[in-house]
Structure 1
C-alpha cells in the first residue's frame, strides 16, 4: 500500500497499464483493474469506541471499492474484519489443482513448470498474430495452464518473473479450453522461500505484510476483487481499529477462554502460525454465538417485564367438556406438555414457547386444549396460519373435534360452547363484517386466520393467546402485530411440524422455550417408502399408478404431488393470505428436464392411467372457494385421488388416504418430503409413499431420497438435512427465501459452543453489574440492526 492517502499499488495484472518496476508501455485499450480508494486517516479511526466496527466501508476504502465489497455482503468495517480467509498457504505447500472446477474464481499457489512465448516477432518484423505467453504450473501432481496476451514487451517482462521453478499465487476464473483447465490473464505474485513477495509487487508494503508472514491468507473473491486487494483493505481495517476497546468484559473472556478481539482479528488476518490463526477464529466464532444468544436472552428478559393477564384453568368449563368427549386417550407427551402450557398461561408473565413435534404427533390438539383453557378464563385465542388452505383446514379440524361445543349462539349449542371464526383475505364483504363483529364482541372465542388477522380493522375483545403455526413462514414483526391487538401482552405458542435439531432451535428460536412431542398417538399405521428410478425402472411407474387404483378399489384415497402448477406457472402467491406457496424446484440442477406439473399430470391421469377414478387437482392459484370445495370433497371421500402441489404439505388430515406418489421427488428437500409423507397413514390402514426420480445414483439428490426412504424419524432426518444442506438452507433459503447470515458458526458442529454462549448470555442478563454494560449493549444493538432485514426476524 502506497500509504494512507494514496491508492493501492496493484500487483502484476496482465493487460493492465499499471505495473511495478516501470514496465514497458501497454496498448492504449488496456485498462487497470479497479483498486481501493484509500481515505485519509481520521480521528474517528483512532477513537477506542465500541461502535467503530459499524462504520461504513466507503469511509475507509472509498465508494468504488465499497460497492465491490458489497458483492461479498460486506458493508461495514466489522463485516470486513469478520471475512475470514477461506484457507492459508504456507511458504512450502502447493494447492491441490485437482479440486478446481470450471467457472470458479480461484487463487492457487503453484510452481511454474514450463514457459513458452508464441508469436513474438524478430527485430523489425511483425507476425500478424497476437503475441501470447503460455505458462504451465503444477502442484507436482497435476497441471494448470495460464495464458497471457499482450505486447511483445509485456510478454518478455512477464517471462522475467515466471521462470521455471518459481512459486506464486495465481488468481482468476477457471475456464476450459481445448478440454484443459485454464486461467486466462490471471493476476499473480511471485513468492520467495519465506513467503514474501519477490516478483511484481515487492514494493507494495501492505502486500508484503500479507505475504511476508508464515501463512498467506486467501480470501473469498469476486471477478473484480482479488484476494490481495481484499487483504489490502483488511490491512486498512486492522490499522483503523488498533487500540479499540474489547466489547466483551474481561470476566466473559475468561469464562469463554478466548483472546481479546483486536488480537483475534490480527491472528486471523496476519497469523504467525496455524495455531494462532485458530485461536483468533475461536474468538470470532464465540463472538457470533454470544451475540445471538445475548440478544435472545435480552428478548426473553424484556418479555418477562411485560405483564400478561393470567388465564388459569377453570374446572367444569369448555376444556373439561371437550376432554370428556375425546374418543381416544392422550399420549403421555400430550398430557405433559398440556400441563406445562396450562401452568404458563396461568402466570402474569407472558408464555413464549415453541412446540415442535413429529408429523402426526398431535400438536394441534395440544394447542387447542390451551386455547380452550383461555376461553374458559374469559379470553380469546387466535391461530395464525400461513395459507388459506391450512387456515381452512385448521378451522375444519377444530369445529369437527368440538362439535356442538363450537356452536355458541345457535339453538343446538352445548353448554359452555364458544364460537369459531375463520378470517381470511378472500372473505366477501358481508361475511367479513360478520366475522369481525364476532371477534370484536368476544362471541368468537376461537379465531383462525391467515395474515388477514393482522389487518388494522381486526379488533379483539380480549386476546389472551396467540398460536402461530409454521413459524418459519412469519416474521417477528407479524407476531408482534397480532400481539399488539391485546390490551396486555398475550401468551404466545409457536408450532412447527419441521423437527429442529437442538443447536438450530437455540439459534433460530432462542427467545422461546422449547417443548417437543415425539410420541405418535396409538393407531397410526406404518408407512413404507420406496424410491422409484424413472429411467432405470420405467415399468415401476406404471406399477405406481396400478397401486393407486388398487388402493382406491379397496376404498382408500391417494395423493399425487408435483413440483409445478403448469408449464408456465412455477411459483404462485396466495393473494388472499399474502403468503407464497413454496414449490419444490430449489434442488433442481440447471440442466434438469422440466418437472411434472399438476395441470398436465391431472389431465394425463384422469384420461389415462386413472381413467374411471375420481381425480381432482389442487394448487395455490385456484380461487379460494374452489380450493375449499376440492379439499371438502376429498376429505368427505367423494374424490379418490388428489393431484396437488405442496399446498397439502402441512395441516391436511384425511385418515383414509393411504398412498402418495411424489413426482420428481429429487426437487424437494428432506424436511419437505417428510412433511408430505406425513399426510398418509394417519388412520388405521398401512400406507405407501413412492418417490419418483430421474436423479442419478450416487448424487446428493439420491442420498436425500435414500435417507427419507430409510426412516420415518423426523428428528433423525433433520440431522441428515442439516449435514447435507448446512444451515444456509435450513435457516434460510429453502424455507423462507433467504440465505443464512451466519458467518462462522456451523450449527451442526458448534452446538456445544452455542449452548455455552447461551448459558453465559443468561448469566450476563441476570447480573446487575453486566446487564447494562455498554459493550454488551452495543453487541445487542448490532444484532438487532441486522435482524431488521435478515433471518433473525423469523424468530
Structure 2
C-alpha cells in the first residue's frame, strides 16, 4: 500500500495532458479545486442546455436556446462603425437574422456562405417582433449534427475556463477511465439499480434530461455513495485503529451511584438511564471508549456525565470534566457540587487562574489521588498536571475542541475512556459525517419539571412595548437576558450595538439594574458581570452571543433576542435554552425587523412551533446546508464533490453500516472486495485511511 496503484495513474496524471488544456487553463482550473483528471471527472454538470434539433424558431419558447437547420441568405455588412453585422437565414417555416458585433466579415463569409445549409444553435430573442440569434454558439455542417449532444452539460466555471474547454477536457478524461473492480456490495447495487463506477461517470456527464441531474438519479446516487463510503471507511478504520489501543477495564460496584439516585427528587428519564448503561458498559470493556453524548438543551446531560465519573471513582480511579471556558467550568462545578456531596466524593476546580502555592497544592492532591473528580479548562493539558489514575475524561462542547486536543487528552491517561458531550443537536447525517468514528448516546427526552418556553415573534417597531413588559417583570423580581445582534463581521460594531442597547435600557430601567457582557471585554470584567447577574444583583443582562453556551441562571425567565432573523436556527435554539430552567413560566421574544424574508420567516416560525432541537436542526440543515450549519472551516466536515448531505442523508447511514461491516469481515482489506475498496480510498484521496491500513 506504499504508493498509488498503477491502474489509477492516468486519473492522477498532469491536467495539461488533456485535450485543450495548456499551462494557463490548468492554473485557472485550480480555482475550481481541479488539479488532476480525477477532479475533473467528479465535477459534474449542474444543469443542461436543450440542443435538440427543431424545424423552426417559430413556436419555440423565446427568449431561449434553439437549434435549427437553416439556409444561409444575404450578408448585410454594417453601414456605420459599431453597428452590427446581420445575416438573413431561413428555417423550414420562417426567416430570421443572425447578428454579430465587431465581426470579421471574411471569417463569416467562410463559415456561413450564402446559399449553403447549416445547423446553428444559440440564444434566440425577439427584437421588434423579428427573431434574432446573436452570436450562435454552434455552427455545423448538417452531416456533423451528431457531434452536438441533444442535451449539453453545463459545468461550473471560473475565469479563464469556458464551457467548451470543460466539455472537451471531460470527454478526454472519460477515455482514461480504468476498469476497476466493484467495491459496492453486489446485492445493494442490484437493489438500488446502480450502474458500475465507470458507467456512472459516463452517464453523469451525458445527462439526457432534467431528471439525470437530480441527486436521486442512479448514476449520481452511485457516485455520491462512493464518496460517502470512502469517508465512512476512513472513520471506521480510525475507529478500529483506536479500538486496538488497550483501554482500562473500569467497573464500579454501584455504591456511589446508588447514593446519588436516592438523593434525587425525581427519577431519571429513560434516555438518561439508557445512556448511563451504555457508558458504563463501554467503560467495563477492555477497548477504549470513544462516545458522544448528544442531548438537547436541558435534557439532563450533567447527571449522566456525573454518573459516568462515579464509575471511575468506584473503581478506585479518577475522572476529569473539561469545559471550553472558565465560566462554563465554574458552572459545571456548581452543577456537580450537590451531586458530589450526596456521593461523598472530592471534587475540585483547576483553571488558568490557579497560581502559585494554591495551584501546587491542587496538583499534589491530584497526583496523590486525593482529588477524585477534577473540573477544568484547557489548563488541564499543561505538562505539570498529573493524575494518579485517570480513567475517564469528559469533554464538553465538542466543536470548540479539536481532534488534536482529544489526542492530547489520551496522553494524560493512556487508555483513559473519553466521553464527548454536546448540547447542539445535529441531524443524524451530519453526526455521522462528523462523528462517524464515535458511538453515540442520545438524550432525546426532557426531564420532568422542565416547563416549556413560550416563544413569540414581535417586530422591532414595538421596542417600547417590550421594554415596558421588561420593566413590569423586573419589578416582580424576575430576570432577563437581552441578546444583541451580531451586526457586521467587525466586532467593533457589535460592541457599539451592545453598548447602545445597554445605555438605553439603563436609562429606562435605572442604574445598577442592567449589566453588560460582550466579546471585547477583559476576562475579569466579563466574569464579574456574569457573577452579578447570577447572584441577582442585576436584573437584565445585555449580551452578544457569548451567553449561548451553558450559562445557568434559574431565576432568568425572559429572553429577548434582537434582530432574531439574522441568527441561525441552532443558535436561537441554544439561546432560548438559557431560560425555562426555574420555577417561573418563561418567555422568549424573537424581535425581527420587518419585512421578513421567506427564509427568515420560516426560521422564526419553526422556533415558535417546536422546542425539539433535533427537529429544529433538520430544518436548519434543509435551509442552510451542511457547511454553514457547523461552520465548515472548523467542523472537520469533509468537502464532498458529488454527495449532498442535505438531500442524501439516508445514504450516509447506509455507508456507515456498510463500511463497518466490510471491516468486520475483512479488517485488512485483503479480499477481492477489500482490494477494490483500497482503490476507492486512493481514488477519493483518503490518505489518512491508507496510512492506517498500511500500518495495520
For normalisation by structure 1, the TM-score amounts to: 0.73
Determine whether 1:632 maps to 2:531: yes
- Tell me the residue number matched to 2:33: 73
Q: Give the alignment partner of residue 597 of structure 1, picking from 491, 497, 512.
A: 497
- The answer as to whether partners of 1:133 and 1:147 remain within 8 angstroms in 2 is yes
- Tell me the residue number matched to 2:567: 668
- Tell me the residue number matched to 2:675: 774
- The answer as to whether partners of 1:253 and 1:259 remain within 8 angstroms in 2 is yes
Bigger shift: 242-251 or 339-348?
242-251
Question: 1:107-157 CA distances to partner (integer Å, 9 max, x unpaired)?
Answer: x84579xx9x999654xxxx5x5445699xxxxxxxxx9997535648967
Q: Secondary structure at the match of 1:393?
A: helix
Change (3 A) 1:379 1:237: farther
Count of residue correspondences: 658
Q: Give the alignment partner of residue 311 of structure 1, picking from 237, 246, 250.
A: 250
- Tell me the residue number matched to 1:522: 448
- The answer as to whether partners of 1:462 and 1:487 remain within 8 angstroms in 2 is no
Q: Measure how far apart 1:83 and its partner are.
A: 1.0
Q: Measure how far apart 1:626 and its partner are.
A: 2.1
Determine whether 1:533 maps to 2:431: no
In 2, Cα distance between the equivalents of 1:719 and 1:559? 27
- Tell me the residue number matched to 2:469: 547
Determine whether 1:356 maps to 2:294: yes
Determine whether 1:449 maps to 2:376: yes
Alignment of 1:546-695 (within 5 A): 546-564=468-486, 569=491, 597-607=497-507, 609-612=508-511, 614-695=513-594
Determine whether 1:472 maps to 2:407: no
Larger relative CO (CA 8 A, sep 6+): 1 or 2? 2
- Tell me the residue number matched to 1:705: 604
In 1, Cα distance between the equivalents of 2:360 and 2:61? 68
- The answer as to whether partners of 2:330 and 2:349 remain within 8 angstroms in 1 is no
Q: Secondary structure at the match of 2:311?
A: helix
Q: Measure how far apart 1:669 and its partner are.
A: 0.7
In 2, Cα distance between the equivalents of 1:308 and 1:467? 15
In 1, Cα distance between the equivalents of 2:519 and 2:452? 30
For normalisation by structure 2, the TM-score amounts to: 0.82
Q: Measure how far apart 1:324 and its partner are.
A: 3.6
In 1, Cα distance between the equivalents of 2:554 and 2:439? 32
In 2, Cα distance between the equivalents of 1:190 and 1:337? 68
Question: 1:708-766 CA distances to partner (integer Å, 9 max, x unpaired)?
Answer: 11221212212211211122323544x84788612232334323322332232222112
Bigger shift: 279-288 or 378-387?
378-387
Q: Give the alignment partner of residue 422 of structure 1, picking from 343, 350, 355.
A: 350
- The answer as to whether partners of 1:567 and 1:597 remain within 8 angstroms in 2 is no
Unaligned 5+ runs, structure 2: 88-96, 125-132, 690-696
- The answer as to whether partners of 1:666 and 1:693 remain within 8 angstroms in 2 is yes
- Tell me the residue number matched to 1:188: 137
- The answer as to whether partners of 1:288 and 1:744 remain within 8 angstroms in 2 is yes
Q: Measure how far apart 1:360 and its partner are.
A: 0.6
Q: Give the alignment partner of residue 260 of structure 1, picking from 193, 196, 205.
A: 196
Question: 1:371-413 CA distances to partner (integer Å, 9 max, x unpaired)?
Answer: 12212323332333333333332233223543486xxxxxxxx
In 2, Cα distance between the equivalents of 1:164 and 1:690? 70
Question: 1:309-341 CA distances to partner (integer Å, 9 max, x unpaired)?
Answer: 111123434x44433433433223212211221
Q: Measure how far apart 1:463 and its partner are.
A: 2.5
Alignment of 1:351-500 (within 5 A): 351-403=289-341, 416-424=344-352, 428=355, 433=360, 435-488=362-415, 490-500=416-426
Q: Greater helix share, 1 or 2?
A: 2
Change (3 A) 1:689 1:219: same
- Tell me the residue number matched to 1:723: 622
Determine whether 1:83 maps to 2:43: yes
Q: Secondary structure at the match of 2:175?
A: helix
In 2, Cα distance between the equivalents of 1:655 and 1:80? 56
Unaligned 5+ runs, structure 1: 1-43, 101-107, 136-144, 172-183, 198-207, 406-415, 572-582, 584-594, 789-795
- The answer as to whether partners of 1:133 and 1:155 remain within 8 angstroms in 2 is no
In 2, Cα distance between the equivalents of 1:382 and 1:246? 46
Alignment of 1:139-158 (within 5 A): 149-150=101-102, 153=105
Q: Secondary structure at the match of 2:277?
A: helix
In 1, Cα distance between the equivalents of 2:151 and 2:118? 20
Q: Measure how far apart 1:370 and its partner are.
A: 0.5
In 2, Cα distance between the equivalents of 1:264 and 1:516? 37
Determine whether 1:301 maps to 2:240: yes
In 1, Cα distance between the equivalents of 2:6 and 2:432? 32
In 2, Cα distance between the equivalents of 1:548 and 1:119? 77
Q: Measure how far apart 1:284 and its partner are.
A: 0.4
- Tell me the residue number matched to 2:159: 223
Determine whether 1:282 maps to 2:221: yes
Q: Secondary structure at the match of 2:372?
A: strand
Determine whether 1:49 maps to 2:7: yes
Q: Measure how far apart 1:777 and its partner are.
A: 3.0
In 1, Cα distance between the equivalents of 2:236 and 2:582? 42
Question: 1:653-681 CA distances to partner (integer Å, 9 max, x unpaired)?
Answer: 11111101101111111111011001001
In 2, Cα distance between the equivalents of 1:259 and 1:637? 66
Question: 1:323-364 CA distances to partner (integer Å, 9 max, x unpaired)?
Answer: 343343322321221122112211111222222122111112
Change (3 A) 1:62 1:706: same
- Tell me the residue number matched to 2:92: none
- The answer as to whether partners of 2:478 and 2:555 remain within 8 angstroms in 1 is yes
- The answer as to whether partners of 1:663 and 1:693 remain within 8 angstroms in 2 is yes
- The answer as to whether partners of 2:319 and 2:372 remain within 8 angstroms in 1 is yes
Q: Measure how far apart 1:560 and its partner are.
A: 0.5
In 2, Cα distance between the equivalents of 1:563 and 1:672? 12
In 2, Cα distance between the equivalents of 1:435 and 1:158? 90
Change (3 A) 1:705 1:309: same
